[in-house]
């Protein structure tokens, strides 16, 4: 959909419930999905009224070739706008996570420029997390790119709940001689779990064979990664926000962890995908479409089903 192959956007837009400037409210849990620009302060702030979020997870386009590329300066100016809006809609003690790529073919932009811009904001830098992809891209003349960059910032003194995970295979194999016997590190450990650091190697990159896959959503983030963030940096019942809904992963993660979500996407198609993904999860328990797609009923000439919900 990013390149509008075969005029797919023209075919899908009539089936979208939201137009720019409109919002959809879930009557069951209070989630909100909105169609609008993350840098439109009046629109975004209006979605929150007097309530504030304790956690923001933003995954903006990375200014790479799959999107309309701007100069780095223009891109950072745009980021500065939605970062300021994010600060305003967060509680006094809140967390912000930002997924941001680094183009290794163009001086690693926009990551260093974004980090410098953030140093001028009231947010405090806390961690630089790298998530390892199982698949990468590159050429025989360079190291294959297999990482995703995730920046963690805070406002005030937010909650942080330590998380634990299974010991991934990549961390196994540390041998040591104990009383004349060579043992592997798992044999010496007293727990099957470890506390994740800021290098995440235990989360599977989303690809077409996974249930959570949403076809047409380039760079979809793993549900397990988003849930880890949510469970570490928010509590049940609290409000979480995502200014770049895309495939709706943050909304699904909030639904699964008993949080409420306000999420925004500038594209009516991705806003619709986000709503449909929630409806599908509630009706089937499935987190994505795997071999199908969110618009398969319409493309097959059928009338889609709708859940209890309404527009704002």
Supply the mean pLDDT for the chain: 88
* pLDDT value of residue 145: 83
Please state, in angstroms and rounded to a whole number, the distance separating the CA atoms of residues 274 and 248: 4
Q: Is residue 298 part of a domain?
A: yes
Please state, in angstroms and rounded to a whole number, the distance separating the CA atoms of residues 100 and 109: 10
DSSP state of 192: S
At 214, list the tokens: 């949403």
How many CB atoms neighbour CB 93 within 10 A? 12
> Per-residue confidence at 134, pLDDT binned at 50, 70, 90?
confident
Q: Is residue 48 part of a domain?
A: yes
Contact 271, 33 (CB under 8 A): yes
* pLDDT value of residue 241: 98
Please state, in angstroms and rounded to a whole number, the distance separating the CA atoms of residues 144 and 104: 10
> Phi and psi of 158, rounded to 5°?
-75, 165
Range of the domain at 214: 5-164+197-311
Q: Is residue 175 part of a domain?
A: no
- What burial class does residue 174 get, using C-beta atoms within 10 Å of its C-beta: 0-12 exposed, 13-18 middle, 19+ buried? exposed
Q: Is residue 188 part of a domain?
A: no
Q: pTM for this one?
A: 0.88
pLDDT, tens digit, for every residue of 168-183? 656 555 566 777 887 7
> Per-residue confidence at 257, pLDDT binned at 50, 70, 90?
very high
Q: In terms of DSSP bridges, do strands 181-184 and 175-178 run parallel, antiparallel, or are they unpaired?
A: antiparallel
* pLDDT value of residue 152: 98
Contact 236, 257 (CB under 8 A): yes
pLDDT, tens digit, for every residue of 97-120? 999 989 888 899 999 999 999 999
* pLDDT value of residue 65: 41
E-strand spans in the chain? 23-26, 32-35, 53-58, 90-99, 124-137, 145-155, 165-166, 175-178, 181-184, 193-194, 199-200, 239-242, 260-265, 309-311
Count of the separate structural domains present in the chain: 1
Q: Which of 127-131, 159-163, 193-197, 227-231 has the lowest mean pLDDT?
A: 193-197
Q: Is residue 189 part of a domain?
A: no
Given CA atoms 229, 234, 236, 238 in this order, what sign does their dihedral have? Answer: negative
pLDDT, tens digit, for every residue of 237-251? 999 999 999 999 999
| CATH code of the domain covering residue 63 | 3.40.50.150
Q: Which residues contact 135 (CB under 8 A, 6 or more apart)?
A: 146, 205, 207
> Per-residue confidence at 138, pLDDT binned at 50, 70, 90?
low
Q: Is residue 144 part of a domain?
A: yes
| Burial call 104-127: b when 16+ CB within 10 Å, e when fewer | eeeeebbbebbeebbeebebeebe
Q: Is residue 178 part of a domain?
A: no
Tokens 């639904």: give the residue: 255
Q: How many helices (H) and strands (E) in the chain?
A: 9, 14
Tokens 């995970």: give the residue: 165
């Amino acid at each position: 959909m990013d390149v509008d192959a075969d005029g797919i956007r023209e075919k899908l837009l009539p089936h979208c419930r939201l137009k720019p400037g409109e919002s959809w409210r879930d009557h069951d849990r209070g989630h909100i999905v909105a169609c609008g620009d993350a840098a439109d302060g009046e629109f975004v702030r209006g979605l929150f009224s007097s309530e504030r979020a304790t956690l923001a997870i933003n995954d903006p386009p990375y200014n790479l070739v799959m999107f309309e590329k701007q100069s780095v300066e223009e891109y950072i100016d745009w980021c500065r706008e939605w970062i300021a809006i994010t600060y305003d809609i967060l509680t006094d003690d809140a967390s912000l996570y930002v997924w941001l790529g680094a183009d290794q073919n163009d001086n690693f932009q926009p990551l260093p420029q974004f980090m410098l811009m953030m140093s001028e904001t009231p947010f405090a830098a806390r961690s630089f997390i790298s998530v390892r992809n199982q698949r990468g891209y590159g050429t025989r003349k360079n190291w294959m790119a297999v990482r995703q960059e995730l920046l963690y910032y805070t406002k005030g003194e937010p909650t942080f709940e330590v998380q634990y995970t299974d010991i991934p295979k990549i961390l196994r194999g540390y041998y040591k001689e104990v009383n004349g016997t060579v043992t592997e590190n798992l044999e010496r450990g007293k727990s099957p779990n470890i506390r994740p650091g800021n290098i995440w190697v235990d989360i599977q990159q989303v690809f077409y064979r996974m249930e959570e896959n949403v076809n047409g959503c380039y760079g979809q983030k793993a549900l397990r990664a988003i849930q880890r963030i949510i469970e570490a940096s928010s509590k049940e019942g609290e409000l979480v926000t995502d200014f770049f809904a895309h495939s709706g992963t943050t909304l699904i993660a909030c639904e699964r962890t008993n949080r409420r979500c306000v999420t925004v996407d500038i594209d009516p198609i991705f806003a619709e995908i986000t709503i449909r993904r929630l409806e599908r999860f509630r009706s089937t328990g499935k987190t994505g479409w795997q071999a199908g797609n969110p618009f398969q009923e319409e493309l097959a000439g059928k009338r889609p089903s709708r859940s209890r919900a309404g527009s704002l």
